[in-house]
Amino acid sequence: MTRFNLQSFSNPEYKPGPLPKRLIWLFISMAFFETGFPWPSSLKRFLLNVFGAVIGQGVVIKPHVRIKYPWFLKVGDFSWIGEEVWIDNLGLVTIGADSILSQGVYICTGNHNYKKETFDLMVGPVSVGHSTWIGAKTVIAPGVTIGDEIVVSLGSVVKSSLTIPGIYSGNPAIQKGNSATA
């Protein structure tokens, strides 16, 4: 195991946006997204678009949703983002049209290099295809692509890309069936 020297940790090449923009977003997020108050999805879509996200028409955003940086988020038309979804997007997250992120889904785009003493930050985009359903409490790792017409079942951990339409489950998520047999 590598011994970490976190005193030397630095990631000057990572630039998530100007500090004032990030601070304003933090307060907007707490007031309109992370709260349990059922603000209309139309208002949430508007706010996300103002902050640089690309949010399609008819997107539903439930209460208690966390989005780190909206300017790294693209969501296709008529997709749903369920309660307690956390989009931890240090990098780009793309969600296709007519897709569902069920309750408690965690999308992670950042990690650290545990093989280096300096614990360097590593960022990888995440993409979720069209007509795809990510089941409740699923975790999606950095750099993963989940293709079109895929179902990922409850509590799965997606560590590598899933490209063949079908039903996936487990840790790590593996194909358990195809959509025609569901």
- Dist. CA 75–CA 22, nearest whole Å: 20
pLDDT higher than 60, residue 133: yes
First to last CA, the chain: 43
Domain range for 83 is 17-181
Q: In this structure, is residue 63 part of a structural domain?
A: yes
Q: In this structure, is residue 6 part of a structural domain?
A: no
Q: In this structure, is residue 7 part of a structural domain?
A: no
Q: In this structure, is residue 39 part of a structural domain?
A: yes
Which pLDDT does position 181 carry in this prediction? 54
Segment 18-59, tens digit of pLDDT = 999 999 999 999 999 999 999 999 999 999 999 999 999 999
Q: In this structure, is residue 8 part of a structural domain?
A: no
Q: In this structure, is residue 12 part of a structural domain?
A: no
CB atoms within 10 A of CB 58: 15
Phi first, then psi: what are they for 136, rounded to 5°?
-55, 145
Residue 148: pLDDT band with limits 50, 70, 90? very high
Residue 6: pLDDT band with limits 50, 70, 90? confident
Find, among 154, 155, 131, the residue nearest to 146 by Cα: 131
Say if residues 93 and 126 touch (Cβ distance below 8 Å). Answer: yes
Q: In this structure, is residue 159 part of a structural domain?
A: yes
Segment 99-111, tens digit of pLDDT = 999 999 999 999 9
Which pLDDT does position 9 carry in this prediction? 82
Q: What is the domain-level CATH number for residue 167? A: 2.160.10.10
Q: In this structure, is residue 5 part of a structural domain?
A: no
| Number of domains forming the structure of the chain | 1
Name the pTM for this structure. 0.94
